[in-house]
Copies of this chain bind each other. A is one copy, B any other.
Amino acid sequence: MSNPEVAAPTIGVFDSGFGGLTVLRALIDRLPQAQFAFLGDTARLPYGSKSRRTIARYASESARFLVNEQGAEFLVIACNTASALALDAIQDAVSVPVLGVIEPGAQAADAASQTKDVLVIATDATVQSRAYTAASRARGLRAIEKACPLLVPLVEEGWIDPSSAAGAVTAEVIRIYLAELAAEADAHAFNPDALVLGCTHYPLLRSLFEAAVPAGMRIIDSAQAAAETAIRLFRPKAGHTQEAGCPILSTSLVERVGDHPAQPTRIRCFATDSVEKFERLGSRFLGRPVGNVELVDLGG
């Protein structure tokens, strides 16, 4: 018998916009007993073109909302920019374990790469932080990072169908960016065999990337990697050791998610602006209707 008195723990998922819904989608499928609260800080997006100080302030306010107002007991920062520039600030702002997407992305690149040379594409701010370079280097990988600021607006415009004139524009933008990356790799005598999609919007362009990369190059989705890391944290195997750069969950939290009687997954979505746009675009990322999105004012 299920016990309705025992509430399943809430996992908080945060992004500056909608892209992080791809992480939420993977978590829902694999952790059906958990409750979820998703916040998109849509009034202040994009983070990718802003400074570290501003990103840290916005992301900390968002994290506090999920923990203090929504009771989240574990946070996934499903935003590469916030993970790259503000993970420390978020950890200081809240008292629950926090997982970003950079370490899982670097770990997945390490697992996929034979040559140990990897390419990373991301927003301006993520690239300038060199967070992927640092996380890669800690694993013995070399990384070249490149900012691709046109890809987020192309995804939000819906220009993702390769058979259309609009999708052909996106394919050409990807070709130009990858050619610039390849030239830089050559100049540094790199031999890359993995490409990290370091922004949660980019997985929607996956088929265009697959058509554009050289044969044999593996494509790593940092959002998917973070979801898989989170699932491993909740499904520890015997003899499991801590993953580099990842938080440790309390035994009680893991048990409450793992052992809680199955119940309908409960998702609450919040946005700081334009809930209509969130409801419209969000379903594209979540792969199902996002339902009612609640407007929240973080004072920004």
Contacts and interface: CB of A to CB of B under 8 A. Distances in A.
Interface of A: 42-45, 49-51, 54, 149-150, 152-154, 156-157, 159, 165-166, 168-169, 172-173, 176, 273-274, 277, 299-300
Contacts of A51: 273-274
A54 B176 contact: no
A50 B54 contact: no
A156 B152 CA distance: 13
A156 B165 contact: no
A162 to B, nearest CB: 15
Contacts of A154: 150
A166 B175 CA distance: 10
A45 B43 CA distance: 9
A166 B177 CA distance: 10
B169 A273 contact: no
Contacts of A43: 44, 50, 54
Given A44-B300, A51-B274, A150-B153, 11 more contacts: A45-B49, A49-B274, A49-B277, A54-B274, A149-B157, A150-B154, A152-B153, A169-B169, A169-B173, A172-B172, A300-B300
Contacts of A153: 149-150, 152-153
A50 B274 contact: yes
A7 to B, nearest CB: 33
A263 B177 CA distance: 47
Nearest to A298: B300
A230 to B, nearest CB: 29
Contact of A273 (B54, B165, B274): B54
Nearest to A52: B274
Contacts of A45: 49
A273 B150 contact: no
Contacts of A49: 45, 156, 274, 277
A166 B157 contact: no
9 contacts: A45-B49, A50-B273, A50-B274, A149-B153, A149-B156, A150-B157, A150-B159, A153-B153, A299-B299
Contacts of A277: 49
A151 B107 CA distance: 36
A274 B173 CA distance: 26
